[in-house]
Structure 1
């Protein structure tokens, strides 16, 4: 069995949706890149799960790779489908809700 914490994904062809699995009643995350300059994290949200409203110190880009997500930015809700993305600006309140299961890549660019 591979230890995912020490697993190197560099120089490999990857299918992001296959790198993370849904779990009933949960939000699952898997960090792929962690650098001082930014992070790339995969998320899988079961239906009915989400992240409550919060802010982040840096811009974050949510790219939907499976399913459909509702992302609220500064009280405005956006429904995103597979293949779509949205930029959540730094220091602006945002939230994530899974009406249906979905997976996303979250890219955070540090200043």
Structure 2
């Protein structure tokens, strides 16, 4: 990816049946930006991260649970996941997101 070139993040990661696909597009000491494509029904089991994270939904719909509260997220929406809070994700349909992890 060129530093000064506009790009469509959704086009940079493709769905694969029965899988979760990820692609890191930026990685620095201060944080990472990773693209994900989830096949319908796929997800991430509950876990915690030591840093705040911001999910930007690029395509589809998913349920994201943060500290036991479910959130339905759709294309064009964002959700903040605070550091050290348990969270999990399940794709209700094919789902793409950009995960921005902010290290502090």
CA contact (8 A) 1:25 1:46 kept: yes
Report the count of equivalent residues: 104
Shift, 1:69, TM fit: 1.2
2:94 is aligned, of 92, 97, 101, to 101
CA contact (8 A) 1:9 1:32 kept: no
Structure number with greater Rg is: 1
In the TM superposition, structure 1's runs of 4+ consecutive aligned residues that sit over 4 Å from their partners are none
**Higher-strand-fraction structure:** 2
What TM-score results when the alignment is normalised by the length of structure 2? 0.98
Does 2:88 align with 1:62?
no
Unaligned segments of structure 2, at least 5 residues = none
Unaligned segments of structure 1, at least 5 residues = 1-7
What TM-score results when the alignment is normalised by the length of structure 1? 0.92
Q: Aligned ranges for residues 1-111 of structure 1 at < 5 Å?
A: 8-111=1-104
The alignment's C-alpha RMSD in Å is 0.7
